């Protein structure tokens, strides 16, 4: 069981956290004692989420950051360094799915670019500007033995799903970048892992017609979707010292989907 003080006073960033999985992860970090920066492209929306998680405004900070814009990402980590001087945990959750049920010959070029720019370039920028601060945190804080990253992939970052090839390609890229960068930092006290959820019961999914939700649930051998807490608990495990010998892993949270 994760201790309620496991992340006490640690500085964390969760991108794409205005709702759903990102909000659940940010909430879990907050409840375990962390100071959490959460981001979205939309300022009003992310501020509402920050207030919902932490009405005091003392430990959750909403920031408007478009991860496809390198300068905005760079400025976020410059602010964190200037304010706290450290960064202990990063969760790269920002991402978009793009159109569904669309064959590659019919896929719009602009939609392709938006998915790739958000899901791959956005993660690249975040890692590029976060990791130097995370490495310096280990070097400057006496009691900090490591810092950690979790990237959000998906089951179709491991196998293919027809009709959504750009999203599938981008989530495969998340897995590849995770493994490569984990090797780069394996001796530099930064662990970098990814999770690969199946279908998750998010507010957006819950707005879909019941027959669509039932279809999603049936894709997993457990015959249901993951709960938000099941995803956030796994992410916090990988961020924590409980997984201290784990790096470069893409960890499925899929109710048996990949075992089929």
Number of neighbouring beta carbons within 10 Å of residue 126: 26
Number of neighbouring beta carbons within 10 Å of residue 58: 8
Annotation marks residue 199 as catalytic: no
Options 125, 167, 251, 257, the catalytic residue: 167
Closest CA relative to residue 16, chosen from 8, 7, 24:
24
3-state secondary structure of 39: strand
Question: Which stretch of DSSP H or E encloses residue 36?
Answer: strand 35-40
> Which structure tokens are listed for 243?
């997984």
Q: What is the DSSP track for 80-143? A: HHHHHS---EEEE-------SS--GGG--HHHHHHHHIIIIIHHHHHHHHHHHHHHHHHHH-TT
Instruction: Say if residue 59 is exposed, middle or buried (CB neighbours under 10 Å; 0-12, 13-18, 19+).
Output: middle
**Quick one: how far is CA 77 from the chain centroid?**
16
Catalytic residues: 167
């Amino acid at each position: 069981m994760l201790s309620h003080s496991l992340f006490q006073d640690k500085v964390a960033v969760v991108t794409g956290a205005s709702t759903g999985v990102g909000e659940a992860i940010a909430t879990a970090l907050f409840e375990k004692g962390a100071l959490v920066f959460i981001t979205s492209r939309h300022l009003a929306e992310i501020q509402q989420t920050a207030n919902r998680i932490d009405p005091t405004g003392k430990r959750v900070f909403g920031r408007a950051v478009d991860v496809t814009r390198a300068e905005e990402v760079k400025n976020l980590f410059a602010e964190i360094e200037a304010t706290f001087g450290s960064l202990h945990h990063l969760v790269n959750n920002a991402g978009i799915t793009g159109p569904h049920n669309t064959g590659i010959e019919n896929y719009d070029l602009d939609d392709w670019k938006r998915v790739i720019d958000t899901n791959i370039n956005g993660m690249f920028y975040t890692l590029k500007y976060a990791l130097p601060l995370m490495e310096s945190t280990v070097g400057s804080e006496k009691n900090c033995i490591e810092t950690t990253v979790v990237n959000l992939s998906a089951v179709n970052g491991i196998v293919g799903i027809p009709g959504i090839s750009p999203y599938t390609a981008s989530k495969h890229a998340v897995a590849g970048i995770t493994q490569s960068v984990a090797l780069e930092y394996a001796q530099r006290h930064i662990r970098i892992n990814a999770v690969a959820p199946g279908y998750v019961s998010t507010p957006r999914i819950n707005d879909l017609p019941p027959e669509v939700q039932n279809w999603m649930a049936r894709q997993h051998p457990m015959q249901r979707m993951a709960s938000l807490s099941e995803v956030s608990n796994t992410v916090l495990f990988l961020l924590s010292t409980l997984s201290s010998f784990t790096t470069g892993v893409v960890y499925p949270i899929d109710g048996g989907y990949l075992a089929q």
